[in-house]
A and B are shown apart, each in its own frame.
Chain A
């Protein structure tokens, strides 16, 4: 399965641990929403969401 992790803020230790376990045996991508600024960043996010089987948006 292809997972996309979107971080709305910088991930803390608990989020990192959950992400690590969720990613085991899966293909994983990540997107730092807190660094997104240009239209191109959001185009990339949309492309990734539609490419992923599942998107998880962390706090």
Chain B
């Protein structure tokens, strides 16, 4: 049996959040301690699929965090914590966790400068 690693996925781009959570779960089911850290953005509209993935990651001793001090918009922060139920973490607290991580994954594209147009705002 391979060693269980502490893995942290970091996601900065809104379009990549849902898939980053799926990929995080992919390593949870491979017996790693797998975490997803959402930076900057409001979570996309929650589907049952995403909610189930978040629950499953937590069942497998991982977590999905919202890096609260990277989000300026209070409404977005409230949605991530209260509606999506993400675990709040500060950048400083996350940094301390990353010091203990075996694998850190900068997932997908960087943060976008502009808010999403209606076509992809959900």
A interface residues (Cβ-Cβ under 8 A, vs B): 8-9, 12, 14, 17-18, 21-22, 24, 54, 56-59
Give the dominant DSSP class at A's interface.
mixed
Residues in A whose Cβ lies below 8 Å from that of B105: 57
Residues in B whose Cβ lies below 8 Å from that of A18: 91, 94-95, 98
Q: How many Cβ-Cβ contacts under 8 Å join chain A to chain B? A: 41
A53 to B111, CA, bound (A): 28
Q: Are the C-beta atoms of A21 and B92 separated by less than 8 Å?
A: yes
B interface residues (Cβ-Cβ under 8 A, vs A): 10, 12-13, 39, 67, 70, 91-92, 94-96, 98-99, 102, 104-111
Residue of A8, A9, A12, A14 ringed by the most chain B CB atoms within 10 A: A14
Q: A9-B110, A14-B39, A22-B99 are known contacts. Are A56 and B91 too (CB-CB below 8 A)?
A: no
From A14, A17, A57, A59, B109 is in contact (CB under 8 Å) with A59
Q: Are the C-beta atoms of A22 and B111 separated by less than 8 Å?
A: no
A33 to B39, CA, bound (A): 22
Nearest first, the 6 closest Cβ-Cβ pairs linking A and B are: A21-B95, A59-B110, A58-B106, A56-B104, A59-B106, A59-B12
Instruction: Look across to chain A and name the residue whose beta carbon is closest to the beta carbon of B8.
Output: A56
Q: Are the C-beta atoms of A17 and B111 separated by less than 8 Å?
A: no
From B10, B99, B106, B109, A21 is in contact (CB under 8 Å) with B99
Using A18-B91, A18-B94 as known contacts, list a sample of 14 further A-B pairs with CB atoms less than 8 Å apart, ordered by residue number in A. A12-B111, A14-B67, A14-B70, A14-B91, A17-B91, A21-B92, A21-B96, A21-B98, A22-B95, A24-B99, A57-B106, A59-B10, A59-B13, A59-B107
